[in-house]
Structure 1
């Protein structure tokens, strides 16, 4: 049975409520940095995907809320919680976390600086959270119509990305290794907008270009099927990914209407679908300095 540290739980709840006042959706975490509430479907013989539709707690980031009443209920259900997680990708900040790790002797801060020099961007002044192991979390804000995926060391060794469906350990959380704390001089800042060139790097890598004999060919049909197979919670992510691949392969304009139709069948509105596809078109367009 989990050990209950009432003082740590009270402090974690206070920090979580403070974060919620800033528009950050939160969930309680245990000392292991994992969601404190276990899935209510863990013993189901054949669990179906549930993101909280059942009305019970225990769905990870899908429980995240900015409502003080709901947050208190979450912590009351998890009196062993000693920290809180901040869900990424949600309105209004659409938070993106840049996790600069220190494991395996990697110099992730230097790697990030080298990326910035190579791709001509700078990290703006923003919230920085210091981890007990000596790492840092940089908080950035993404565009509302761009879905940034989670990744581990894809950008560079020791740099993990927390995007849609992920969470960051909030400052003030107490874990097995110590306490997370906001770096001096950054607590009052809002998450700064993610530089465009960095945002491009955070998106899934493009697939190799394989020309098709027709306007869309089997590749285009495959992208449409990929969107049609989306479940709730995946729809926008799958549509954005498919649209990016379509534009990278030169069939974006021809595939727009089929992708919109597929997205509408999964439950998105036509306006949402066209907005997501337009965002993919912008993200995959070559930068002016890279053109002819």
Structure 2
């Protein structure tokens, strides 16, 4: 008789959400999100206004969590960016070659820089690696890195997630091995992973001959460029949808609109890939749902 893992995984999801860390279901026994993609989006529930990516659908709502985990023994993912976390992933080599693991290379990095190995919440991964949890500083949007600190040392922040303790894969179980308080990210590590200052981006919008369309495009691009942390992606989605009807009517070329919003989103501090995904989703929704010009 197979042991039912659902209650334990539901408890793990609720416990992490209670810490203020949005969670998402991962495939049973796996590490990939168990959520529909844009092409399969039903446009209902959280996606009623347009497709939302897994990071936007991660939640701390107990009712939504219970409903999701009632459907299957899903592993638990923590959306690190919305959780305000940066997690350092100390990986194991993929082969049995005599290659130093991430724990070894990270320890060597600390020694070279004269810093102690941080004592913070630590999770042993299924493969035997380590996840070191830190709170990310306010006002700086940190993304993911791969090998930027040292070989086999990655980081997960905005745009990333980690498999939470209690989850199980064929390689083993994720377990908390040091239940220490989550430390703020040390300044020396922040300096090493902080993004380079953004280059100035031109926010000029071309005029396409339709005065109303040109005015709305310029207004919405400015709104995105000046959006503040925590509301930038939502503003990009809203503004691109507001302009999408003019694309549907043929007043504005789609490429022109995409380029204008891409520049504005990057100027506001959003990652380029996130901008592209949001703009594409918003324009697709607007074009699909736009009423005829005469009825607008």
Please state which band the TM-score falls in when normalised by the shorter chain.
Answer: 0.5 to 0.7
TM-superposed CA distance for 1:25, in Å, is 1.2
CA-based RMSD of the aligned residues comes to: 3.5
Structure 1 residue 203 corresponds to structure 2 residue 194: yes
Distance 1:86 1:97 in 2: 10
Matched position secondary structure for 1:42: helix
* 1:52-91 correspondence to structure 2 within 5 Å: 53-54=47-48, 59-76=53-70, 78-81=71-74, 83-91=75-83
1:268 corresponding residue in structure 2:
227
Change (3 A) 1:200 1:225: farther
Give the TM-score taking structure 1 as reference length. 0.62
Change (3 A) 1:119 1:179: same
The structure having more radius of gyration, on CA atoms, is: 2
- Asked whether the equivalents of residues 55 and 82 of structure 2 are also in contact (C-alpha less than 8 Å), the reply is no
2:14 corresponding residue in structure 1:
17
- Asked whether the equivalents of residues 99 and 162 of structure 1 are also in contact (C-alpha less than 8 Å), the reply is yes
Structure 1 residue 167 corresponds to structure 2 residue 161: yes
2:107 corresponding residue in structure 1:
113
Matched position secondary structure for 2:127: coil
Which runs of no fewer than 5 residues in structure 2 stay unpaired?
Answer: 206-219, 233-266, 270-296
* 1:85-164 correspondence to structure 2 within 5 Å: 85-91=77-83, 94-104=84-94, 105-164=99-158
Distance 2:59 2:82 in 1: 10
How many residue pairs match? The answer is 213
TM-superposed CA distance for 1:149, in Å, is 0.8
Structure 1 residue 37 corresponds to structure 2 residue 35: yes
Change (3 A) 1:35 1:266: same
Which one of the candidate residues 16, 23, 26 is aligned to 2:23?
26
Change (3 A) 1:113 1:205: farther
1:288 corresponding residue in structure 2:
none
TM-superposed CA distance for 1:267, in Å, is 5.8
TM-superposed CA distance for 1:79, in Å, is 1.4
Change (3 A) 1:270 1:200: closer
Deviations 1:88-118 (A, max 9, x none): 1225xx1111000012433212221232233
- Asked whether the equivalents of residues 123 and 195 of structure 1 are also in contact (C-alpha less than 8 Å), the reply is no
Give the TM-score taking structure 2 as reference length. 0.62
Change (3 A) 1:271 1:11: closer
Distance 1:263 1:75 in 2: 41
Change (3 A) 1:89 1:121: farther
Distance 2:62 2:229 in 1: 34
Distance 1:75 1:272 in 2: 28
- Asked whether the equivalents of residues 86 and 170 of structure 1 are also in contact (C-alpha less than 8 Å), the reply is yes
Change (3 A) 1:206 1:15: same
